[in-house]
Chain A
Amino acid sequence: MGMRFSDYFSLAFRNLLHQRSRSLLAILAIVIGTTSVTIMLALVIGAKDFYFDQFKATGQLEQIIVNPQTGLDFMQSQRAANCESCVKLTNGVANKITSYDHVVGLTGTADVNIFVAVSQDSHQKQAVGTVQSYEPNGVIKHIFLAGGDFTNNSGVGKVIIGQNYADQWGYKDNYKAIIGKEIKLTTNSSFTGEGASLPDPLVQFKRCQAGCQADQIARQQPTVLKATIVGVQSDAGSSIFLPLKWAGKLLKDQRYEITKANQIAYTQAYTTWTARGQLGPEPMPKFTLVADSQLARNGYSTFVVKVDKTGNTDAVARQIRKLGVGATSAKSYIQSQLGVFNIIGFVLAGIGGIALIVAAIGIINTMVMAVLERTREIGVMRAVGARRSTVSRLFTLEASLLGFLGGVFGIAFGYGLISLANIFINTQLAANAILNRNIISLPGWLILTVVGATTVIGMVAGLYPAHRAARLKPVEALRHE
């Protein structure tokens, strides 16, 4: 039979109240430590989550990027490799990968490096960043500010533009308004794909029949292609995306050739014409348009493979690598990147931890003072039946309460500061058209851990003062002035 649980609490609380200025100072120290630890951890966690969300929103967590070149990381893999002896990413390779377990989708991608400028209406012409193409089969996802994905794979003349273009053209506050608008894409002067205005081979033939100087050869002219905007995306703000089918048509080397049969026919016709005294119009050779697909020749830039679960990405990537190609998952990339955040987190929490240690010393000091001040009171308690353990528990509890209250107020204060920071950050995010909000978060487990930790710190700090209090001899304590 001893003191009731509730009485320990009410006594401890009252004792803290009676020395409230000293208690407040001890709590304040804990509050400072807790606030800094909380904010620092919340920042790191928030940054991690934000980073993670970027990958999640675009479906990249379930993706594997296959690149002809091996040994690249997830980000490097997304660009076309400059790799001559590498395994080509052909439809055959694609079929093999699609047959693997856990693979639920695949698209080839092709970089379309043929455009030099893009314009919309009378707005200023913009230089073109990267232009990529993919099959709109749901493997690649974008974060759309307006519009959406291509509705079919053919999609000739359809584009998704990056947010930066829309911003430049004055649609910053109304991305929707640009959907359905036409843009003009200017190719470089060596573009010979579908839609290119190739010079008339006969004109050229005639002009150079007697032999041409290099500067007399008709130059290929840049082509202007029209396209309709179907979506504005924010995840790669300077990129333009095309459907893969259209890219296939654009990535062609077209030229006029005279087939062997036609050459023979022409030679005969010309001989006959000459023999007849060049009567009538001069026969001309017949030209045939020959097209050579760059995709067929070089293979795709990358494959993006969709796997059923994030957890399976690494295993499937390993299997794909056996084909002699590079394959990386976002998962392993993120993990290596998060390592940096973890280190930052540890360092920051360590600084906060030092503040908490200092605060713990403050609690020890406060409680030792309290024991000295309340020596006589302890003596009276002992005289009327308090056990050593009762006294010890009471002082330990008081110290724990200091830690607990410091933790609670520290979290509350930290929460306030985080909320303020989020308000500021939100306006920044909105200004950059990033959809995430309140990116610094204070998860429940962090709150519980921090308050739990400060309570334990208080308790541990209270052990020595409590021991001193319990060790006091009743007679001497009663005599204490």
Chain B
Amino acid sequence: MAKPIIELQKVTRTYRLGSEVIHALNSVSLQINEGEYIAITGASGSGKSTLVNVIGGLDSPNSGTVVVDKHDLSNMHDDKLSVYRNKTIGFVFQSFNLQPNNTIVENVMLPLVLSGVKPEERKKRATEYLNTVGLGSRLDHRPSQLSSGQQQLTAIARALIGQPKILIADEPTGNLDSLRGQEILEILQKINDQGTTLIVVTHDPNTAHLADRILQMSDGRLTELKI
């Protein structure tokens, strides 16, 4: 029996761009079940990123309700929302967003640093996660010393270290060649197989077809596509 983990009700998010008001999300309602693999597609500027940012607690809607894992995000205080981002959500970005001055093991353990985990413990866990993505021998390298694929693997390790229920990947293969992209998608698939709810934002139909469900955004509106 599938349990809903994400529920959006008439969520609207508007931006003001000069005098123009842009509806990034226009009354979007959505339900995602635990363990599902969701692909969100759509043209550039259609509101895909805004949708996942709202789900991930990085952005707040103007109206509507967002309930994730029984947390109502709509009126959540910054402190709680930060804990939510730290514990419930893992983010993977198109441009990796690693801290360039830190080694990759330091990058991976950043969420644990923020939640106050002891230094030995977090180092141990970060090392474990980097081992699973095959970067165990590169712990003390800086991001600039790694290939793009390895950087994205580091970002995935960072997203997973807090053992989130939901992993959000916003164009995770956008900056990679197809071979590296394929590798990343396989790893994401594995993570999803182990029970983590996975949301992948992509404009690539082939990537989208790997998902259980494909949602398409267009001008701030959501439509569900059948596979």
A binds B: yes
Query: A residues touching B (Cβ–Cβ < 8 Å)?
Result: 1-4, 7, 11, 14, 18, 376-377, 379-390, 473-475, 478
Contact (Cβ within 8 A) A387 B82 = yes
**Alpha-carbon separation in the docked complex, A475 to B82 (Å):** 13
**Alpha-carbon separation in the docked complex, A302 to B219 (Å):** 104
Partner of A1, one of B93, B98, B102, B116: B116
Which B residues are CB-close (under 8 A) to A11? 113
Number of A-B contacts (CB under 8 A): 73
Distance from B155 Cβ to chain A, minimum over Cβ atoms (Å): 10
Contact (Cβ within 8 A) B93 A478 = yes
Which B residues are CB-close (under 8 A) to A377? 99
Which B residues are CB-close (under 8 A) to A380? 97-99, 110
Q: A14-B101, A18-B101, A377-B99 are in contact. Are A7 and B113 (CB under 8 A)?
A: yes
B120 lies within 8 A of chain A by Cβ: no
Q: Which of B84-92, B197-205, B206-214 sits within the interface? A: B84-92
Cβ-closest 10 pairs across A and B: A385-B86, A387-B82, A384-B111, A474-B58, A385-B114, A380-B97, A18-B101, A475-B59, A385-B85, A388-B78
Distance from B43 Cβ to chain A, minimum over Cβ atoms (Å): 18
Contact (Cβ within 8 A) B53 A475 = yes
**Alpha-carbon separation in the docked complex, A389 to B78 (Å):** 9
Contact (Cβ within 8 A) B99 A384 = no
**Alpha-carbon separation in the docked complex, A423 to B174 (Å):** 69
**Alpha-carbon separation in the docked complex, A4 to B116 (Å):** 5
Which A residues are CB-close (under 8 A) to B97? 376, 379-380, 383, 478
Contact (Cβ within 8 A) A3 B99 = no
Contact (Cβ within 8 A) A382 B82 = yes
Contact (Cβ within 8 A) A385 B82 = yes
Contact (Cβ within 8 A) B114 A381 = yes
B161-177 Cβ-contact flags toward A at 8 Å (1 or 0)? 01000000000000000
Instruction: Give B85's nearest chain A residue, CB to CB.
Output: A385
B48 lies within 8 A of chain A by Cβ: no
Contact (Cβ within 8 A) B58 A478 = yes
Contact (Cβ within 8 A) B58 A3 = no
**Alpha-carbon separation in the docked complex, A379 to B59 (Å):** 12
Instruction: Give A385's nearest chain B residue, CB to CB.
Output: B86
Query: B residues touching A (Cβ–Cβ < 8 Å)?
Result: 53, 56, 58-59, 78-79, 82-83, 85-87, 91, 93, 97-99, 101-102, 110-111, 113-116, 118, 158, 162
**Alpha-carbon separation in the docked complex, A1 to B118 (Å):** 12
Instruction: Give B86's nearest chain A residue, CB to CB.
Output: A385
Counting chain B CB atoms within 10 Å of each CB, the highest count among A14, A376, A383, A389 belongs to A383
A-B contact pairs, 5 of them (CB 8 A): A1-B83, A384-B114, A385-B115, A474-B58, A478-B93
**Alpha-carbon separation in the docked complex, A14 to B142 (Å):** 15
**Alpha-carbon separation in the docked complex, A18 to B114 (Å):** 20
Instruction: Give B159's nearest chain A residue, CB to CB.
Output: A384
Contact (Cβ within 8 A) A389 B83 = no
Instruction: Give B106's nearest chain A residue, CB to CB.
Output: A14
Counting chain B CB atoms within 10 Å of each CB, the highest count among A14, A379, A384 belongs to A384
Contact (Cβ within 8 A) B101 A383 = no
Contact (Cβ within 8 A) B82 A386 = yes
Instruction: Give B78's nearest chain A residue, CB to CB.
Output: A388
Distance from B76 Cβ to chain A, minimum over Cβ atoms (Å): 12
**Alpha-carbon separation in the docked complex, A389 to B162 (Å):** 21
**Alpha-carbon separation in the docked complex, A473 to B57 (Å):** 11
Contact (Cβ within 8 A) A3 B162 = no
Counting chain B CB atoms within 10 Å of each CB, the highest count among A2, A380, A385 belongs to A385
Distance from A4 Cβ to chain B, minimum over Cβ atoms (Å): 5
Q: A3-B113, A475-B58 are in contact. Are A385 and B87 (CB under 8 A)?
A: yes
Partner of A2, one of B91, B114, B162: B114
Task: Using A385-B115, A475-B58 as known contacts, list a sample of 5 further A-B pairs with CB atoms less than 8 Å apart, ordered by residue number in A.
Answer: A1-B116, A3-B113, A385-B86, A385-B114, A473-B59
